[in-house]
């Protein structure tokens, strides 16, 4: 295997491990992986539903149902966009913010067997390299 193939293989293997952790945490919170992804996206933004659909890579109608179920659970709220009254913005509720702390801690605990293998310098370097990879 050449270097590029090894890199791709390592990225895929790492993603499988991360997805397994996220799936486990989501299930323990009675969420789907997609719902967990949505809540993660909403941590630092209040997108319009169309923007959220783009972030998730889903059709708007699918996201609409996803949002409606999250509203029923008290995890998100919908508000009219001040600039465009036809557009609906989505944000986390206080209940979701309370859940967030535990979820983040649990993800950290489950990823620790991987991340703890790296010293502080390697962790910073990997974080910087991943940020560079993900910078679109």
Please answer whether residues 48 and 87 qualify as being in contact, where contact means their C-beta atoms are separated by less than 8 angstroms.
yes
| 3 state DSSP class of 24 | helix
Domain range 3-134, its CATH number among 1.10.340.30, 3.40.190.10, 1.10.10.10, 3.40.50.880: 1.10.10.10
Domain boundaries defined on the chain: 3-134
Instruction: Taking the CA atoms of 121, 122, 125 and 126 in sequence, report the sign of the dihedral they define.
Output: negative
> What is the tens place of the pLDDT at every residue in 20-29?
999 999 999 9
Strand partners, 78: 90
Please answer whether residues 100 and 22 qualify as being in contact, where contact means their C-beta atoms are separated by less than 8 angstroms.
no
pLDDT value at residue 82: 81
> What is the tens place of the pLDDT at every residue in 64-112?
999 999 999 999 999 987 887 788 999 999 999 999 999 999 999 999 9
Rounded to 10°, the helix 49-56/60-72 angle is 110
Please answer whether residues 22 and 36 qualify as being in contact, where contact means their C-beta atoms are separated by less than 8 angstroms.
yes
């Amino acid at each position: 295997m050449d270097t590029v193939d090894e890199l791709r293989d390592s990225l895929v293997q790492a993603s499988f491990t991360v997805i397994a952790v996220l799936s486990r945490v989501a299930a323990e919170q009675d969420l789907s992986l997609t719902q967990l992804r949505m809540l993660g996206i909403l941590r630092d933004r209040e997108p319009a539903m169309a923007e959220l659909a783009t972030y998730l890579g889903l059709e708007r109608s699918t996201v609409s149902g996803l949002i409606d179920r999250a509203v029923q659970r008290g995890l998100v709220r919908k508000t009219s966009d001040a600039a465009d009254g036809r557009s609906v913005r989505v944000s986390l509720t206080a209940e979701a913010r309370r859940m967030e702390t535990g979820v983040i801690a649990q993800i950290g605990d489950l990823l620790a067997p991987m991340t703890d293998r790296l010293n502080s310098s390697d962790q910073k370097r990997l974080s910087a390299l991943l940020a560079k990879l993900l910078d679109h």
